[in-house]
């Protein structure tokens, strides 16, 4: 739990220090910096924001450096001091005065974020949903980042060989390491989604009624990924890139076995998207035996009072 948040040179906000409770409401008119404070909390905890693509965008225009500080109380009761300085040329993230990587910060301080883009869980691009799943899997699968790095390296080399029309031997030399890393990534995604499914069913049952679910779309049809790469080589040569694999995977939210994007209202679609994010977070918490920090931005947007009321009952039941 984030207990304190201090900021200096944060966008248009006055420098300040805030004591935070288990539940903290940030209220104010449009443009007063509510989302900027949430971004600062996200950045301090795990090194990335949920809005800005570049954290340097959070530096006040008249300044050259931004500083964030705070303290986190772990489930064990131990406290950790955090600091993050962001300048034009570098940034430095520390926990108890020792530098930490973004990956370590992400693993040690899990976040569950519901922001204005939450509808993309249902109707956004597949890349958005893959990123959502992978950030969740990183928390529970220690080798997921390593597998991603290996997969990306092999995929780049195989695609380069395809684009340059290289021989079968060179292309095939990348098939086995690509398939090994790819299958590990896909299995890790499927395992976490399987663990999240009961939570999703229970939650949507309470706020939307029966009939909601989700399905995983694997990136290949064959029994194993290696067979897929061999079978699709001719097609890949024409396309000049690898057409199948975890880089093509997706999932879809369903209502009565139809996509929520087509079947449900905007409000129902948003509720289903929020329930999916909550269910992933609950699966992570169950496996890691820790509680995440939850951030909500524009939660009520697009929801009527009845739907919002049901959602708030769910949120109040959380121990976070």
pLDDT at 74 over 80: no
pLDDT tens across 125-170, in order?
999 999 999 999 999 998 999 999 999 999 999 999 999 999 999 9
Chain region(s) in the chain for CATH 1.20.1050.90: 120-317
Residue 43: name the closest of 8, 80, 93, 90 by CA.
93
pLDDT tens across 215-238, in order?
999 999 988 999 999 999 999 999
Residue 285 · residue 177 · CB < 8 Å = no
pLDDT tens across 102-122, in order?
888 888 888 999 999 999 999
Specify the pLDDT at position 23: 87
Fold of 2-109: Rossmann fold (3.40.50)
Chain region(s) in the chain for CATH 3.40.50.300: 2-109
Specify the pLDDT at position 171: 94
Q: How confident is the model at residue 178 (pLDDT cuts 50, 70, 90)?
A: very high
Superfamily for 120-317?
RecF/RecN/SMC, N-terminal domain (1.20.1050.90)
Specify the pLDDT at position 129: 96
Instruction: Give φ, ψ of 252 to 5 degrees.
Output: -135, 140
Average pLDDT score, the chain: 92
Please list the residues that pair with 79 across neighbouring strands: 73
Both tokens of 47, joined, read 């090194």
Specify the pLDDT at position 76: 74
- Share of residues in the chain with pLDDT > 90 (%): 70
Instruction: Find the mean pLDDT for residues 274-279.
Output: 97
Q: Determine which helix (DSSP H) or strand (DSSP E) holds 4, and give its type and residue range.
A: strand 2-8
Please spell the DSSP secondary structure of 215-253, one letter per residue.
EEE-S--SSSHHHHHHHTHHHHHHHTS--SSGGG-EEEE
Instruction: Give φ, ψ of 170 to 5 degrees.
Output: -70, -40
């Amino acid at each position: 739990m984030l207990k304190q948040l201090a900021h200096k040179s944060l966008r248009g906000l006055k420098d300040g220090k805030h004591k935070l409770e288990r539940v903290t409401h940030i209220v104010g008119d449009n443009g007063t910096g509510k989302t900027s404070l949430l971004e600062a909390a996200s950045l301090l905890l795990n090194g990335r924001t949920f809005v800005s693509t570049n954290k340097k965008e959070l530096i006040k225009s008249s300044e050259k450096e931004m500083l964030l500080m705070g303290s986190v109380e772990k489930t064990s009761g131990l406290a950790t001091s955090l600091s993050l300085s962001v300048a034009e040329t570098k940034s430095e993230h520390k926990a108890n005065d020792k530098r930490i990587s973004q990956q370590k910060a992400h693993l040690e301080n899990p976040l569950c974020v519901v922001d204005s883009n939450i509808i993309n869980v249902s109707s956004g691009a597949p890349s958005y949903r893959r990123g959502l799943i992978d950030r969740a899997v990183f928390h529970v699968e220690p080798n997921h980042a390593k597998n991603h790095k290996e997969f990306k390296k092999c995929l780049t080399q195989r695609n380069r060989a395809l684009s340059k029309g290289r021989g079968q031997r060179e292309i095939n030399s990348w098939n086995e390491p690509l398939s090994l890393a790819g299958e590990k990534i896909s299995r890790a995604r499927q395992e976490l989604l399987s663990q999240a499914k009961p939570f999703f069913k229970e939650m949507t049952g309470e706020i939307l009624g029966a009939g909601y679910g989700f399905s995983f779309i694997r990136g290949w049809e064959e029994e194993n990924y290696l067979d897929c790469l061999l079978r699709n080589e001719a097609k890949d040569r024409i396309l000049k890139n690898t057409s199948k694999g975890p880089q093509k995977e997706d999932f879809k939210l369903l209502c009565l076995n139809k996509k929520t994007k087509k079947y449900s209202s905007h409000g129902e679609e948003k509720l289903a998207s929020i329930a999916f994010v909550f269910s992933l977070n609950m699966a992570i918490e169950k496996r890691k035996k820790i509680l995440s920090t939850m951030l909500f931005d524009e939660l009520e947007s697009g929801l009527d009072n009845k739907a919002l009321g049901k959602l708030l009952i769910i949120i109040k039941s959380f121990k976070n």
